[in-house]
């Protein structure tokens, strides 16, 4: 019997609910959405927050020749150092003062967790005001990916996500986003990430960025874009990365998706859909009360049309909640209705909270979900859950420390 005709076993429908904590609610009793960053002490102004022109102007303001900006940029963006002792090409007299003024410490390492082979490292950083953020460094064959945070906390209040539980602390500055990459590159230069091929001596650096750490990147749009522009600017002005190797992931802030499509930087775009039907997505992704499934998919499709870059749909498979075969079929139908070849689907087993309704789907159910989408002509690959044993995803480390 071909697989399409296997009997369909009716599965229960588990509904989203919080366990052991409750979602903050707004005046109308709906899950609170925080789009604006609470006012807190500003992070120290940093050289990386500035454009190339502003950097030169800043040095002139400090009574230095403009060319010093390039020297400092080279130290920071090419050699990944903020230490005045490394900068012997700067005048000794006021080097210390100059460098600590321009490259003030933005984050201190609180904790670092690594997997057995050491090819995944999760960093927990403390910012100037005590806010905690995470980044995760992962070695894959042929690439090194850093998962970065764009906000401390998150205002999107998704009930399955550890970051959302405490709400939004504040936006990160562009430099706080960039410093996560610079610090990871520093760790790589020091040989701190395991799993390197024997005998391999070429220097390593982060090749891919995913904005899948803490926060909703499109809710911190201007700083996100300054960080992305600096990531793709050639060294030493920036990090010399390729835009297509940078993935911006969003819950679906539709107007900001349109803005992103209009930028001249074709980053890879990912939409955290997690349900193809509004009935479930309303509960799973509170921002669905603003922009519905079809609007989010239209915006994702428009991103493809504008940039020519195939977009990804993220889908955390949650046991008996969103993993039903009919949902795979409905998702395929909605994607195909907008065309072919514009999208691929990345299901990922939920990073579970032990003993709760938030459990990952069974392997056979995952496989069936993937099979149905592929059979319908939607390229679909199950994403691996790197770093599960170190709570590699989703704000779990900062939540444990807070």
- Site map 20..49 versus ligand SAH, x via CB under 6 A: ------------------------------
CB 329 within 8 A of CB 4: no
Q: Is residue 161 among the annotated active site residues?
A: no
Closest CB to ligand SAH among 186 and 388?
A: 388
User: What count of other Cβ atoms lies within 10 Å of the Cβ of residue 400?
Assistant: 12
Out of 350, 370, 373, 378, name the contact with ligand SAH by CB under 6 A.
350
CA distance to 17, 161, 288, 303, 313, per residue, from 269 (Å): 29, 20, 18, 8, 9
> What is the rounded distance in angstroms from the CA atom of residue 77 to the CA atom of residue 179?
10
User: Least distance from C-beta 142 to ligand SAH, angstroms?
Assistant: 23
In 3D space, the residue among 217, 316, 318 whose CA is nearest the CA of residue 269 turns out to be 217
- Report how far residue 297's alpha carbon sits from residue 281's, in angstroms, rounded to the nearest whole number: 13
* Binding of ligand SAH by 249 (CB under 6 A): yes
Distance of CA 219 to the CA centre of its chain: 12
Dihedral (CA of 197, 200, 205, 207) sign: negative
Here's the x/- map for ligand SAH, 269-298, by CB under 6 A: it reads as: ---x--------------------------
> Which is nearer to ligand SAH, 186 or 334 (by Cβ)?
334
Task: Report the residue from 82, 180, 247, 250 that binds ligand SAH according to the rule CB under 6 A.
Answer: 250
- What does the block give as tokens for 370? 């993937």
134 is catalytic: yes
Q: Which residue number, 77 or 303, has a Cβ lying nearer to ligand SAH?
A: 303
Interaction residues for ligand SAH, span 134-193 (CB under 6 A): 156, 160-161
Q: Is the dihedral of CA 221, 222, 228, 232 positive or negative?
A: positive
Q: Which stretch binds ligand SAH (CB under 6 A): 9-17, 114-122, 128-136, 209-217?
A: 209-217
Return the active site residues.
Answer: 134, 394
Contacts to ligand SAH by CB under 6 A: 156, 160-161, 211-212, 216, 249-251, 272, 314, 316, 348, 350-351, 393-394
């Amino acid at each position: 019997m071909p697989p399409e005709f296997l009997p369909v076993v009716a599965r229960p429908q588990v509904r989203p609910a919080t366990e052991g904590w409750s979602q903050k609610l707004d005046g109308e009793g709906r899950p609170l959405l925080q789009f604006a960053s609470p006012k807190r002490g500003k992070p120290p102004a940093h050289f990386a927050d500035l454009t190339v022109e502003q950097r030169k102007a800043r040095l002139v303001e400090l009574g230095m020749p403009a060319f010093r900006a390039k020297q400092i940029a080279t130290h920071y963006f090419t050699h990944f150092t903020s230490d005045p002792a490394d900068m012997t090409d700067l005048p000794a007299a006021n080097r210390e003062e100059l460098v600590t003024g321009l490259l003030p410490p933005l984050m201190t390492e609180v904790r670092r967790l690594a997997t057995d082979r050491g090819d995944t490292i999760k960093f927990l950083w403390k910012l100037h005001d005590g806010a905690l953020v995470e980044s995760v460094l992962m070695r894959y064959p042929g690439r090194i990916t850093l998962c970065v945070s764009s906000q401390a906390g998150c205002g999107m209040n998704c009930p399955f996500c550890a970051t959302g539980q405490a709400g939004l602390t504040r936006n990160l500055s562009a430099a706080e986003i960039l410093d996560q990459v610079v610090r990871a590159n520093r760790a790589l230069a020091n040989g701190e990430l395991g799993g390197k091929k024997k005998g391999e001596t070429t220097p390593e650096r982060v090749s891919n960025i995913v904005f899948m750490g803490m926060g909703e990147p499109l809710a911190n749009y201007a700083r996100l874009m300054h960080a992305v522009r600096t990531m793709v600017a050639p060294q030493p002005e920036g990090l010399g990365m390729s835009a297509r190797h940078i993935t911006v992931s969003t819950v679906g802030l539709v107007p900001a998706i349109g803005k992103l499509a209009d930028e001249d930087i074709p980053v890879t775009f990912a939409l955290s859909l997690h349900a193809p039907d509004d009935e479930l997505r309303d509960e799973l992704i509170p921002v669905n009360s603003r922009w519905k499934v079809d609007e989010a998919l239209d915006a994702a499709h428009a991103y493809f049309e504008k940039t020519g870059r195939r977009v990804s749909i993220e889908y955390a498979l949650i046991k008996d909640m969103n993993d039903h075969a009919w949902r795979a079929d409905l998702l395929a139908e909605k994607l195909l209705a907008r065309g072919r070849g514009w999208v691929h689907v990345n299901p990922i087993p939920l990073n579970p909270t032990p003993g709760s309704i938030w459990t990952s789907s069974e392997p056979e159910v995952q496989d069936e979900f993937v099979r149905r989408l592929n059979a319908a002509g939607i390229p679909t690959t199950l994403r691996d859950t790197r770093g599960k044993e170190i709570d590699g995803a989703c704000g779990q480390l900062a939540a444990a420390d807070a």
